[in-house]
Amino acid sequence: MTTQHTPGRLYIRTNRHPNTDGTPWGWVDLYEPGSMLQASPEGMQVTWSRGQKSEANARRLVACWNACDGITTERLEEIDKPLLMHLTGADRRAARMVQERRELLEALRPIAERGEISAKIITAARAAIAKVEAGK
């Protein structure tokens, strides 16, 4: 599907006047609280009412929408597990790459800085390179 969603960040609003039974209600829309615009374009508006659980659900919708800004809907639909698992995996991969970089620098620095080449340095350099290549 190629239809684009409505772009922009979402904001949660709470109506100043509660429901007739006294429970709060509000809506989620594209305009920052305090702006003069009161209605979203293209009918982009989600209302919530009847208490804390509904408001919590609206807040979660806003947080997820805003956190996924820049990721296509199709990409989000392709992800077969929670986004956090993907992000956690990316964090682990980044940490591994930083460690591998340190090890490569440590192994190659004597060669680059002092022109030292010994069996011990060559072994360390080969080990660091092999570790990086195995992590592909």
Instruction: Using DSSP, state whether 9 is helix, strand or coil.
Output: coil
Greatest pairwise CA separation for the chain in angstroms: 84
3-state SS record for 90-131:
HHHHHHHHHHHHHHHHHHHHHHHHHCCCCHHHHHHHHHHHHH
The predicted-structure confidence for 87-116, as pLDDT tens digits, reads as follows 777 778 888 889 988 888 888 888 888 888
Q: How far apart are CA 17 and CA 23, in angstroms?
A: 9
To which residue do tokens 């615009």 refer? 37
Provide the whole-model pTM.
0.48
The predicted-structure confidence for 82-92, as pLDDT tens digits, reads as follows 776 767 777 78
To which residue do tokens 């509000």 refer? 26
